Amino acid sequence: MSPEQTNLLQGTLDMVILKALRLGEMHGLGISRRIEQISQGTFVVKSGSLFPALRRMQEEGWISSAWGESETNRKAKYYRLTKAGVKQLEEETAKWERIVLGISRTLEAS
């Protein structure tokens, strides 16, 4: 891990995956790349964390998947956000914003 990269805090992986998929349907490697891109290299999600999370989120009904062909003409599973996933993303984002506000207030206290 480079000095600029940070481990995701527990409970935030789902939120960043859902956010990446909010930007459009993509396969697993694309999700990982999108997270790295939108976090400007701060977060790198490895397949050992990504694919179990995708399976779990699919079981929860937050995402769906279908097989397709990647840009390199390989078979790939493409994931997309469901309506339940959009709702989950909104709930997790609101919760995270409350946490960030609380931490900021704590750090600013004198």
Per-residue model confidence as pLDDT tens digits over 81-96: 999 999 999 999 999 9
Strand, helix or coil at 110? coil
d(CA 88, CA 52) in angstroms, rounded, equals 18
Residue 24 counted as domain residue: yes
pLDDT digits (tens, 9 = 90+) for 10-49: 678 999 999 999 999 999 999 999 999 999 999 899 999 9
Cα gap 70→92, rounded to integer Å = 30
Written in H, E and C, the secondary structure of 43-85 is CCCCHHHHHHHHHHHHHHCCEEEEEEECCCCCEEEEEEECHHH
Q: Which residue's entry shows tokens 């009904």? A: 61
Please report whether residue 36 resides in a domain: yes
Q: What is the pTM of this model?
A: 0.86
Domain CATH for 21: 1.10.10.10
Contacts of 73 (CB under 8 A, 6+ apart): none
Domain holding 51, by residue range, is: 13-108
